[in-house]
Amino acid sequence: MQALSDEDSPPPYWRQRPRPVGLEITYRLRGDTLEIDTTRKISHVRLAAVEQVRFVYAPSNVSSKGFKTQLRLSDGKSVTFGNLSWRSLTDMDRDDAGYHAFVSALAAAIARANPRARFVAGKPFAFWLALATISALSMLMLVFFTGRAFLQGTTTTGLLGLLLTAASFWQIKPMVVLNRPRNLSSGEVPDDLVPGRPAA
């Protein structure tokens, strides 16, 4: 995985192996076109055809530091890529600085090619509301289970409940907080959903 954006370097690109078993995909920015090389074929996406850019938090089974960028096109199709790349069935690679550099270059190019393109962060409102509601109910159930266990004198069960509650909160909180829906300005890249911005 690598991204370059220096003026003296090749066009900005990003390489990702999105699945444990599969080929690496290269996304290369060429002017007002995004070139997608899947090894088997090369396709081109006109940046002027991008209607919406969405940034989301998307952890995997292996890493809790997963993020994705989704492009929705005028023909109804979409392009999605993330900051995680599989090395093997159990190992993933992260290059947040490279990911941020490429996404920033891509966002700026889309804003130039289509000033009307929407930039949004988080999940769609209906999906996020359902996620937040289910998460809150799940946490309440765990708290009730834990409290009842202590009241009944089953300390071991209560301690297990505390452990499950803490672990669940640690996993659920970023899913709800980071994926809250919000509108962004044209070309804006949110640091909380696109990690790796160089230090000032």
Q: What integer pLDDT is reported at residue 39 of this predicted model?
A: 87
Residue boundaries of the structural domains of the chain: 13-122, 125-176
Rounded CA separation 82/175 (Å): 16
pLDDT of the chain, 200 residues: tens digit per residue: 555 444 556 799 999 998 888 889 999 999 999 999 998 999 999 999 999 999 999 987 666 789 999 999 999 999 999 999 988 777 788 889 999 999 999 999 999 999 999 999 999 999 999 999 999 999 899 888 888 888 888 888 888 888 888 887 878 899 999 999 999 999 999 999 999 888 76
Closest CA relative to residue 66, chosen from 24, 16, 128: 16
Q: E-strand spans in 95-200? A: 118-121, 182-184
Q: Residue 44 belongs to what H/E stretch?
A: strand 42-46
In the three-class reduction of DSSP (H, G, I as helix; E, B as strand; rest coil), residue 106 is classed as helix
- Under CATH, what is the fold of the domain 13-122? PH-domain like (2.30.29)
**Model confidence, pTM:** 0.85
Q: What integer pLDDT is reported at residue 9 of this predicted model?
A: 66
